[in-house]
Amino acid sequence: MAGARSLINEKDFACSICLNMFDKPVSIPCSHNFCLKCLSDFWERANIVCKCPICQHKYERRPALSVNTFIADMVDKVKGQQASAANVLEEGSVPCGVCSETVAAAVKSCLVCFESYCERHLEPHIKKPILRKHKLIAPVEDLESRICKVHEQPLQLFCQKDKTFLCELCKDTDAHKKHQIVTVEEEVAAQRKYLTGEKEVTRQMLEERQRMVGKIQDALTDGREEALRQRSYSVEVMTAVIDYIKRSMDELMEVTDTNLNTTAREATDLVSELEAEIVQIRQKKEKLDEASDHSRIDSFLFFEKNLSGNIPQPKVRDWSAVRLDTALPGMQQVVDMLKETVWREVPVLCDPDLREMQQHAVDLTLDPDTADPSLQVSADRKKVWLGKKKNDLNNTPERFAGVENVLANEGFSEGKFYYETQVQDKTHWMLGVVNQSINRKGDIRLHPINGYWTVCMKNGEIKGNGNDADKVYQRRIPVKVGVFVDFDKGQVSFYDVDIRSQLVSFTGCVFKEKLFPIFSPGPENKGKNLAPLIITDRK
């Protein structure tokens, strides 16, 4: 403890056997002192020989032991002094270097006297003119650290450039002559002001982020409530739609059965009428057959038989315009329209077939030989972004020029395939598939007629390129876009993968050549569109 020289040293009253302060101290003829119990136990262990534990002096007879009252009183004073010092000095306080008995906490340290003073012992430095010139600072234990090791002068100055403490002689040296020098007090005041400002800025930052946490939590709560509301509403509406379709189907079946029964009755009546006419016709046929047999008799009798009016004429109608109507007018067309509407609109909400489409995922890599010189392709050929400057590349026929496009290495000419691309943190991009023979130079028109089946985003708005451009329905800016191609159905569809929502679908396409996936990270848009397009693998 600093300032302990003003206290009686407790080591002077320590027992050499237990090393603690004396407890009932006793003295023996050789003038050494011990605790009564410690010495008694020591001699008990020695059995026959009785000697001093320190000087080893031997006694023929064991000396009589009695408590040394003087030493006992001194021990009590040391213990009381320690207790008093402990009560006066708080943790972290610097003790006064002048106090002799009860040690008080120092209020100042003097860099000239190299001593710390309590309020009482500081009075001479306040009252005496010669002492008022001394440099007083806040109390510190290690006063030597406040003295310049070169000039042995108090470190009262601060170099703002080198961030070091200086004495009056240091500031005139070549190392600091041109630097901004201030007093330690001025620097402390500046630092306190800076810290006060930083504390305020930090407080504001904390409050701002705490408010943001609250907003995010409120938004999450609102999102959960909205999701529950949407789910409830969706279930209600979809259930109503399904119920309506089921009731419509029941009605349709009933109408169909009723029409079938009506048609069956009409058919039965027509068949009955026809069968009646068949009977009459058969009767005429029999008469005609009989008349034919008369041709073998003489001519006079033949004419007599045939002219007698014995051959009846059947009463029949003209059946050439008669048709049995079995069709329900427009029913097939209406049902097909319903099917097409459901299959077109429901995927916009959430396509139940996307998981099956994802089973046709393919592993794609970019083809640097097709990349526009303004583009950069990663070493693994999975990422593409707009470079800071154009690459010096040969303008080969397969390379795009003037448009920020690049094709995949892999092409497809049959079946189905699917791939996904991350478009996060981008404001512009274009994705899709193209014919192998597309124009790759200059002004390019994105349209199925020109061999492009693509979608693009510009400033948060997604559009399909072609006749289906007005069919894009976008609920949010997607993070990942899926592309699915079905050669047999002539279909190219685009999806917001995370919510499995269809963005746009080209149908009725005719693919006459090999298709290649195409990627365009778009222009840099004033530094807002520098993130890469990333091909993500599902396998």
Q: What is the pLDDT of residues 192-245, one digit of tens each?
A: 999 999 999 999 999 999 999 999 999 999 888 988 888 888 888 888 888 878
* pLDDT of res. 302: 67
Amino acid making up residue 159: C
What would the mean pLDDT of 367-395 be, rounded to a whole number?
92
pLDDT higher than threshold 90 for residue 489: yes
pLDDT higher than threshold 80 for residue 90: no
86 backbone dihedrals φ, ψ, rounded to 5° = -65, -35
CA angle 307, 313, 315 (to 5 degrees): 165
CB 342 within 8 Å of CB 244: no
Mean pLDDT of the chain: 84
Higher pLDDT, 138 or 411: 411
pLDDT higher than threshold 60 for residue 378: yes
Nearest C-alpha neighbor of 28 from the set 57, 53, 63: 63
CB 123 within 8 Å of CB 98: no
pLDDT higher than threshold 90 for residue 431: yes
d(CA 160, CA 181): 6
d(CA 446, CA 466): 7
The Cα-based distances of 49 to 45, 204, 520 in angstroms read 10, 80, 104
What would the mean pLDDT of 146-156 be, rounded to a whole number?
82
* pLDDT of res. 306: 63
Q: Could you read off the pLDDT of 259-293 as tens digits, one per residue?
A: 888 889 989 988 999 999 899 888 888 877 777 76
* Beta strand pairing call for 33-35 and 58-59: unpaired
d(CA 2, CA 235): 79
Nearest C-alpha neighbor of 519 from the set 394, 413, 426: 426
Q: Could you read off the pLDDT of 55-71 as tens digits, one per residue?
A: 888 888 888 888 888 88
Residue with tokens 């005496």: 128
Nearest C-alpha neighbor of 407 from the set 415, 397, 416: 397
What would the mean pLDDT of 401-414 be, rounded to a whole number?
94
Nearest C-alpha neighbor of 537 from the set 394, 362, 334, 414: 362
5 pLDDT tier (thresholds 50, 70, 90)? very low
For the chain, give the percent of residues with pLDDT over 90: 30
DSSP 248-295: HHHHHHHHHHHHHHHHHHHHHHHHHHHHHHHHHHHHHHHHHHHHHHGG
What would the mean pLDDT of 295-300 be, rounded to a whole number?
64
Q: Could you read off the pLDDT of 317-368 as tens digits, one per residue?
A: 888 888 887 766 666 777 777 777 776 666 666 778 888 999 999 999 999 9
